[in-house]
Structures are given as C-alpha cells and as structure tokens.
Structure 1
C-alpha cells in the first residue's frame, strides 16, 4: 500500500513541537511543591520536576542543590545522568530502523554483530528489546570479574564481556530477565546499520530535531558536561559524593534535563495521536515463545495504574534516580530527575499523578482468597507434626514448617516466622503471605510437598555441613569467561572468598542444597568430579546464572 507523502514524513522525521507553558492554579502548584518539600533545601541534593498536561508544560521547577561543593541549586535546566530512562531512546532508534526496512525484529543479532558467540540458539533483535535474550547483565558480571563501582564501566568493556560469555542464562524467548547488556547490543546494531556512532545518530535523529540542546549520550567519560548535577548519597555526617564514569550508551549514559525531556514526551504523545507506527510499535507488549506477555518493549514498561494505562521507565546509577511516567491517553506526564541516592522517583511521580487523575482512578477491588474465609479448625497434633520439615521453594529459598504451641509456623529463608491457621486437615492460611499452603501426600501417605501459589514445593532434607569439612572447598578458582581469579580459604572456622581487587567476603552454607553457599556475589554452587572431589563452582545472582570457575 502506498502511503501519503505527509504520513511518510511523519514516519521519517520527528516533529519539532514548541513547548508551551500553562499556569496552574496556585493551590495545585503548592500541592506539587509540597510533595518535594523535603528536597527544597540548601544543604543537600535535590531534584528537578516537570509536569506536562495536554501538550503543555504546566510545572517545571528545581529543588535542592546540584552542587554542594559550589552551592549551585537545581534548576529545570540542570543536567542529570538519566540512567535506564535512556533505554526508550534506543528503543526509538530500533523502531525507526525497523520501519525504514533496514532491520527486522526477528533478525539474528549475529547478522549485524558477528563477533557475538553462537550459543546454539538464535538471539533476535526482539529478544534484546524485551529482555528475553539470556545474555548476562553487565553490572553483576563485571563486578564479579573485578570491576569496582567507582571506576570506569565502558561500552567496550561490555562488548568484550559478551564476546567471552560461554553460555546463556536461559534459552532466548523462554524467560524475562532485565538485561542492560541487551540495550548496549542494540546500540551496536544502530552503529553497524547506520555507519555512524550511536551518539551521532541520536543527536541527528532525535535531539537536534526536537531542540533538546542539553541532551546527549556519553561515549567519553572525560567530556565536560555543562550544568551537570553532581551525584550524592546520605552519610552519617551529611552527604558524600558517588563517583561514576559510565559509558554504557544504549542502556544508560544519556545526560539530559527535564526541559529537554519535556520536548521528547510532548512529541511522543503527538506521534501517538497521529498513529505514527514508529511510536505505536514502541507501545506493543513483548511475547515469550509460549505467547505469554512481557510488559516491556522498546525501552518502555507498560502497565495499568489504577485502571489507566501507563508507559514509564525508572533509572538509577550512582546517586542519580530518575523517571518518566507517561499517561498518553490522559495527556499527562511526570518527569523527575534527582541526584540523591535516597530519592524514590516512582512514589513521587505517583503522588503528582494523583493530583491530576484522582477522579479518574478506578477503585481496585480486593480479591479475597476463599480459603481465608473458611472456618479455622483445630489441627490434630499427630497430623500437624507430619507436616514439620523443610520444603525447597527455589535454589537458596527454603520454607521451614515447625509446630509450636499448637500451631503450624512457616518461615522462609532469611525471613521472619509467621503462624498458619488450619482451615482443614491439610491446608493452612498464612495471613502474612495472603495465601494458603496445602500439604500433599504420596500414595503411601507420606507428606512429600506443599502446594503454594500453584507451585509444587518439594520436601527436602536441609544441608547442614560440618565446618570440619570446609577444607575441601579451599583453593584457587579461575573463570575463563571473566578472566577472574578467586581464592577460598578458612577464617575462624568459616570459608572466606577473596579477590585481589574486590576484597574479602564470607561464605555461608545454604541449607537448600548440598555444596551450596551464599555470598555477596550471589549463590556459590560447588561442583564435583566423578571421584566426588570439589573441582569448581558456579556463581548465580539476580541477573547472572551459572558462571563457571574451575579449581586450579
């Protein structure tokens, strides 16, 4: 189908939208200011806030200090590192290239980035966009490799990490796991296809057309950025600096102001009204291979906030905390950029939105589990004692059932203990969890599992190693993938892991599985050879799985 020339222009170009300012009633203006009154100070960091209503900026103000060293206040023109809020600009770049016919969502990323290892399964552009690729998240992986949080994390560091990855955390398309790495890979795709740097492409195709003159992706951490807010965290004596030298463009490292981001949001909503496919595509939900929805795509999270569709993203790096929260079909957007590590952007944005949309929120009806309303019964003590034991919810997470003072008690690993109310001879209600647990027996009548939130939680025997056996785990371990070496030794009867740059950390036995320990790096699962000798371990964390270390 041939599209009209005007519509083609809308697809290919960003419309420059003048940012109009409207005046709010004094009472509403004061209510917004009250939300941020804690940060309206001269002795601490703060935030910049913009509210866009019906394509106009109706509120724009700075609170607190951009520089405590030089007594510079935060203004709407103050520049912040917007951290992961950057991802939507990468999402736009990819959506634009797809619409231009230069790439496709189903393309194998190795078509453009042949240095990426082939893991036996194809990783597509869509997988990167939706955080379903299985690639390891670079912050955890690089810190495990020896990087310190206060030093340079560069784009090239991340690319080298990907090239060295030995296996995926999971098969692409089967799970959702937030991965900054995927968006750095997308930036590399933009560079490969366009033939120019990512910072140059975004400047020419986004920031200059929209007049976002204080915005740009940082690919050189030594560049001087004018009007930059410094990054701080609370300390026992006030506030301290959090240094950052990040050039992870694509996933992060966009520096901008609330003034500039207001132009982006106004244009975004205009393009949605015009049904521009580049932007409409950014609002589509992702899909797993089993067709389950993923509420993330093109650098945006889609959700329903009290009955109203919301498109948003938060960000956090060093002491920067940021958000763009957009209600496109209500013509309301809230932009908050802060340089204080204790700032909660989601809560503040929600409070601002409530001032404008309180009459439109839909009352969320609370759904009561029918088990809760069943009459509580007295559980036979002999039967109750059959339920006592440990049940494996997942690696590193046990549910322990005890019988105390005539009641079954439940306690998850590293959590408080809570009572259960017996609702039948096999089901208890745990008010603290807002859910029931049902004990399941096998054919012989032995309790073998708990059914909890539609999960079958198997009964296990907790691992309780004798500290006298810890010497078998000591030694030097090396990861070829991370080019990192750790030493494990004994210290006062406990295992201690050490890295030349990362320092020392104690290992604690985890009762959920044999040879499993917990540490600051995550879960350490020791492996054994055919002779039952310890020959290595695998590290898993929140966004990294099974990184192998072999014993030297």
Structure 2
C-alpha cells in the first residue's frame, strides 16, 4: 500500500510540474487551438526526454481530421540537415573532401570560369541560381509540379554564376539538390534509400520518408492551407520532389528521435556530427553562420542550432539549445504560421531572460487618427528608397496621404502625430525624419529610407523597349509591349504583368516577377537581364 501511495504521489507531482508548461504552451498556440483552422504539432525535448507533445488545429479541413503528434508534414528546408549528415558521413569515410570540385562527381554541371567546391554548396556560397525563382521565370507556376529532374536540367542550362564562388552568401536550394545527386553518385545508392538506411531505419523513424514521387499516398498526411484573402482557407498544391533541399515528410515524434540522437552524438564528440556544426567564411573572411544544413548562431552566450522551412502552406522548424539540453520542434500546415517565433516563445519558458528580447512591432492602429496640416503633409510627399529596387511614394490626395510601393497598389494612411503615419495595409507605422523644407528620410520597420529624386521617364521611350526577348538559358520568351502607357510583359504560362520604371536607375523596370535591366548599345536595345531575389542577371536577347 505504501508503495502504491508513493507512485500516486510521484505521478501527481509530475502532473503538477507538467501542467503549468502545458498551460503556457496552450496560450502560445491558442489562436490555432480551434476546429476548422490549420494549426501545428509541437514537441519539446529536455535532457534527452520528450516532456511535451501536442497537436493544435486541423490537419485536413475537408474531413475535419485533427492534428496530433503523429500527423505527417512536409518539413520543407528542415530536410537540409539530413543532406548535411550524408555529406559529413561521406567525408568521414574518406570518399569525398569538402574542397573537391563538384564536377569531379557531377561532370554534367557546366564548367564555369570559377571552380565550385562541395564546401560552396554546403554553406550556400556557390553562386548557383536558386531553383524556385529560376524555374518560375522560365514559366513554372507555383501551383504545379516541380520535379528533381527539372532542377537538374536547370543547372545544366545555367550560363553564368550569380557571383564568384565564395564571394557572397546566398541561400541556394539548388546547392543542396546537387549534394543529394552527389550522395547518390558517390555511394551508388539513390538518395532516398541512403537516408532511409542510414537515418530512418536505425532510429526507427517509421513514419518518415524522402519523397521522390509526389503522387505517393502518405498515411496521416496534413494538407497545407493559405488564408491570404482573410476570408477562407484554401488548399495549396504540394507537388514537389526536391531531393536534398526539401521533400522529407515526417512527424514531430519521429523528428524527436533524430534530435535526441543528434544531441547525444554532439555530446559524445562524434566527428560526423561535430562537422555538421562547422561554419565557414567568405573569400573576404566574413563569417557564414550556416553549417551542414544547420544554422549555428551564438548570442548572449546561448548557442542555437536550428533550421526553418516553408513550402506550399507548410511552415516548420527544429530549434536546439545544445548547452541547455533543450529542443523544440514545430510543424504547421498554415501559411500564416510563424514557426521560429513560436519556437522561441516556447524556449523562453525555459531560458527566460537568457534569450535576447524579441522585437515587438508597435501597434498604433488604436490611437486616435488626427486631421493633418496640409502644409506639413506636403513636406512628406515624395519617393523614398527602402532598398535596392524597392521604393515607396507618398502623395497628398484630397487631404489624405496615400502610399504606393513599386509594383503594388496605392493605400491610404492614418495620421497619428505630426511625424507618424499608420498604414493599415502594411500593419505598420512610418515615421518621417530630418524635416526642413522636406522630410529627408523616413523610418519603416527598422529601415531608414532616404528621400530620392526619381528619374523622369519619357513615356515615348517605352516603344523602344517593346519586342520579343528570348533566354537560351531558360528556353523561354517574354513579349514586351506598351499598353495604356505601361510597359507590359506577356508570357504564355505566366500571363500578362506590368513592369514599373525604377525610381533611380534608368532603363530598369520592376514587376512582381522580377526586375529587368535593359542593355543599350549604339544600335539600340539588344536585350535585358532579369533578376529576382536569389537569381541575378539572366540574359534575354531581343529577337
């Protein structure tokens, strides 16, 4: 009887300890803890043990299936650490070296003017174009299939690097796709099979797989959703087989086995796993805090090993604090979900003031809206540069301040003080600075944007830009024409979209499908170069 009472007391104490943690995590995820809302699966590991796991929200809205710790998610770029493990293992076995030219194993990669090494692929310093933006520029729509074979063909077609290898850090999914191809070539085993044999089977991650066929039926799989219109959730297609960079499907329960194992091997000084944490530096010695599929950062004496992911409506993260023996895994099927922010909120329950404070965006929406002085507001009108190719223009129309970023619609603002406007569409404030005859700059979400004098475009010159432009690299054409005073692009698969003139650089135009810089010679316009995020200067020749 005494032994029975002792067990009951111990269980009661455990529940007393666990209850506040569950209550706190429930509060963090309260927004998603309702039926009919895509949500998340959450798992917390401390001292090598799972101390919390729970599902919030709905895995499939059509069948009202709830999310549980056994729900399967596409973990997107969180997959990269498994590729990093594979590469580190091959290095340890002496089969490859980080400084090997990748063409030693993948001779089909073009011979560029500079050598790309395995190290460049690992740390995202290769200069290879990132496949999502590249294939989209070639005509792939976001709601259709992207296959591993498409990515490899794209690499074979690349004409120039975005930059000299080692000169810059630019996150490239393509690099990790090539690492997966390299693993298969060197080991003689298909990449999905290699991961299965070296990770999933030994760790009994029985619900996990590397997807090489997007038509495969996956039991207990969550669907992914988007709510961008703010009215109703819509399914997002997830037809992707990007081996190496993404396309691992698993659960928080399975991932906990990997994370516990990873912590144990780090503590045991296993060289394969320690190598995964090695960061690198650029040619100019600037540090790159990205290891083998893992971001490794230390702040306030706290080391965080992590990686997030996002594809379709899936948002995912594994966040580890190895010195504190703490790890958080969060997998979501809601495109609006903030995995890193929510994981950090959980970590603060344990580490409290040891973690840096999370910046809080000031919400001025509930402050009274004032009537502005027209003479003062005129000082704020004009164009400001937020970033490269990113400008915002303020105009005074019928007593109301309006704002428009390039490539976007025009939105109204609310006046909150003599220097501060609230932009409901941006859910953010704008503060004007250094005001004399005109405001010299503004502050927006931490960005100090100087006032600039826009380039005046002679609309009659637009006709000279019209024509058909073809890219041999992408094997696609854009037809440019002038419609209603606007430079309009037509693409067979992407449809019609407008290019707005750059505010500063002449012969540069921007759209939601990238920025183009026209090439001028004595004989006229001969082509343009297209850039878009992680892709730079793809050549299109005028036909």
TM-score, shorter chain, exceeding 0.5: yes
TM score, norm. by length of structure 2: 0.82
User: Are 1:82 and 1:316, in contact at CA under 8 Å, matched by a contact in 2?
Assistant: yes
Change (3 A) 1:199 1:431: closer
User: Are 1:216 and 1:254, in contact at CA under 8 Å, matched by a contact in 2?
Assistant: yes
Deviations 1:394-430 (A, max 9, x none): 75257999xxxxxxxxx9989987543499xxxx997
Deviations 1:110-139 (A, max 9, x none): 000000001110000010011000000000
- TM-fit CA distance, 1:237: 3.9
User: Among residues 20, 29, 33, which one is paired with 1:27 in the alignment?
Assistant: 20
Match of 1:408 in 2: none
Match of 2:162 in 1: 169
The reply to whether residue 298 of structure 1 matches residue 292 of structure 2 is: yes
Change (3 A) 1:491 1:226: same
User: Are 2:298 and 2:304, in contact at CA under 8 Å, matched by a contact in 1?
Assistant: yes
- TM-fit CA distance, 1:362: 6.5
Match of 2:351 in 1: 357
Counterparts of 1:165 and 1:180, CA distance in 2: 15
Counterparts of 2:35 and 2:453, CA distance in 1: 57
User: Among residues 204, 216, 228, which one is paired with 2:197 in the alignment?
Assistant: 204
Alignment of 1:275-354 (within 5 A): 275-354=269-348
Counterparts of 1:279 and 1:259, CA distance in 2: 21
User: Are 1:395 and 1:513, in contact at CA under 8 Å, matched by a contact in 2?
Assistant: no
Counterparts of 1:251 and 1:315, CA distance in 2: 10
User: Are 1:521 and 1:539, in contact at CA under 8 Å, matched by a contact in 2?
Assistant: no
Counterparts of 1:492 and 1:156, CA distance in 2: 41
Match of 2:176 in 1: 183
User: Are 2:240 and 2:247, in contact at CA under 8 Å, matched by a contact in 1?
Assistant: yes
Counterparts of 2:499 and 2:540, CA distance in 1: 16
Deviations 1:35-89 (A, max 9, x none): 1111112112111000000000000111111111112111111100000000000
SS at match of 1:238: coil
User: Are 2:430 and 2:443, in contact at CA under 8 Å, matched by a contact in 1?
Assistant: no
Match of 2:97 in 1: 104
Match of 2:462 in 1: 470
Deviations 1:116-169 (A, max 9, x none): 001110000010011000000000000000001111100010000000000000
- TM-fit CA distance, 1:238: 2.2
Counterparts of 2:405 and 2:36, CA distance in 1: 42
Counterparts of 2:443 and 2:143, CA distance in 1: 43
- TM-fit CA distance, 1:196: 1.0
Match of 2:433 in 1: 420
User: Among residues 249, 252, 256, which one is paired with 2:246 in the alignment?
Assistant: 252
SS at match of 1:524: strand
User: Are 1:146 and 1:484, in contact at CA under 8 Å, matched by a contact in 2?
Assistant: yes
The reply to whether residue 524 of structure 1 matches residue 516 of structure 2 is: yes
User: Are 1:313 and 1:324, in contact at CA under 8 Å, matched by a contact in 2?
Assistant: yes
User: Are 2:384 and 2:441, in contact at CA under 8 Å, matched by a contact in 1?
Assistant: no
User: Among residues 494, 501, 506, which one is paired with 1:502 in the alignment?
Assistant: 494
SS at match of 1:226: coil
Counterparts of 1:515 and 1:395, CA distance in 2: 15
CA RMSD of aligned residues (A): 2.9
Counterparts of 1:435 and 1:237, CA distance in 2: 31
User: Among residues 227, 232, 236, which one is paired with 1:238 in the alignment?
Assistant: 232
Deviations 1:337-370 (A, max 9, x none): 0111111111110110011111544789xxxxxx
Match of 1:544 in 2: 535
- TM-fit CA distance, 1:307: 3.6
Change (3 A) 1:502 1:393: closer
Alignment of 1:88-99 (within 5 A): 88-99=81-92
User: Among residues 498, 504, 519, which one is paired with 1:512 in the alignment?
Assistant: 504
Match of 2:480 in 1: 488
Change (3 A) 1:72 1:391: closer
Counterparts of 2:455 and 2:71, CA distance in 1: 54
TM score, norm. by length of structure 1: 0.81
4+ residue runs of structure 1 moved beyond 6 angstroms?
389-394, 398-401, 411-417, 428-437
Deviations 1:460-502 (A, max 9, x none): 9742211122111111111000011111112111111010111
- TM-fit CA distance, 1:511: 2.2
The reply to whether residue 218 of structure 1 matches residue 231 of structure 2 is: no
Counterparts of 2:392 and 2:33, CA distance in 1: 45
Q: Indicate the larger mover: 120-129 or 23-32.
A: 23-32
Tell me how many residue pairs correspond in the alignment.
Answer: 478
Counterparts of 1:363 and 1:494, CA distance in 2: 46
SS at match of 1:176: coil
Change (3 A) 1:393 1:109: same
Counterparts of 1:429 and 1:160, CA distance in 2: 46
User: Are 1:286 and 1:296, in contact at CA under 8 Å, matched by a contact in 2?
Assistant: yes
Structure 1, unmatched stretches of 5+, are 1-21, 365-384, 402-410, 438-449, 451-458
The reply to whether residue 266 of structure 1 matches residue 279 of structure 2 is: no
User: Are 1:306 and 1:363, in contact at CA under 8 Å, matched by a contact in 2?
Assistant: no
Counterparts of 1:58 and 1:103, CA distance in 2: 39
User: Among residues 40, 49, 59, which one is paired with 2:33 in the alignment?
Assistant: 40
Structure 2, unmatched stretches of 5+, are 1-13, 359-378, 395-403, 409-425
Change (3 A) 1:360 1:493: closer
- TM-fit CA distance, 1:289: 1.4
Change (3 A) 1:236 1:255: same
SS at match of 1:113: coil
Counterparts of 2:91 and 2:198, CA distance in 1: 15
Counterparts of 1:495 and 1:293, CA distance in 2: 42
Match of 2:129 in 1: 136
The reply to whether residue 157 of structure 1 matches residue 150 of structure 2 is: yes
Counterparts of 1:325 and 1:110, CA distance in 2: 34
Change (3 A) 1:363 1:35: closer
